[in-house]
Amino acid sequence: MIRIAICCGEGFASGFLSRHLAESTVKEHLQEQVSFIFIPYFQLYERQDEADIAMLMPHIEPMAKEDKKEYHIPLYIIPFKVVIMPPAADYLSDAEYILEETGGKGGLFYFPGEEKTAFVNRIGSRRKWEAAHK
């Protein structure tokens, strides 16, 4: 079971997204594989033990880059286009990929070539995108 925290500044966008993903998890029969929890970014450091990975809404990327705290879970900035009503399976796929790449170690993580998240054009998971661009 991978526990994914969805985070933003005040909680409106991340609360909406985490509810959507929780509902998608049931529809996609992934309840045994993944869970989503909303955690406001300003609480993430203290609550990071509640998740295996934190996925941050793109509008708080500058805040995350300036954050000097040492997280022990990976932090991933969700690209803008990936936020649009995604299936839970895509988030699970990205979480698995990130955890494999980082070994579960903390700090900001970017997929190669996606360091400027505003310019990421993929809509689905990174693995789907890589398979389509081989």
Residue ranges of the domains in the chain? 2-132
**Tens of pLDDT along 5-56?**
999 877 667 777 888 898 999 999 999 999 999 999 999 999 999 999 999 9
The whole-model pTM stands at 0.93
- Please answer whether residues 57 and 8 qualify as being in contact, where contact means their C-beta atoms are separated by less than 8 angstroms: yes
Helices 12-27 & 88-102, crossing angle to 10 degrees?
Answer: 100
* Domain 2-132, CATH number (from 3.40.50.20, 3.40.50.2300, 3.40.47.10, 3.40.50.2000): 3.40.50.2300
Pseudo-torsion of CA 40, 44, 48, 51, nearest 10°?
30
- Tens of pLDDT along 101-127? 999 899 999 999 999 988 898 888 999
CB 58 within 8 A of CB 14: no
Compute the average pLDDT of residues 52-61.
Answer: 93
Mean pLDDT of 43-72: 94
Cα dihedral sign, 53-101-104-35: positive
Q: What is the pLDDT of residue 11?
A: 64
CB atoms within 10 A of CB 10: 11
Between the two ends of the chain, the Cα-to-Cα distance in Å is 30
The answer to whether the beta carbons of residues 21 and 85 sit under 8 Å apart is: no
Q: Which two tokens stand for residue 48?
A: 């990071």
d(CA 17, CA 113): 25
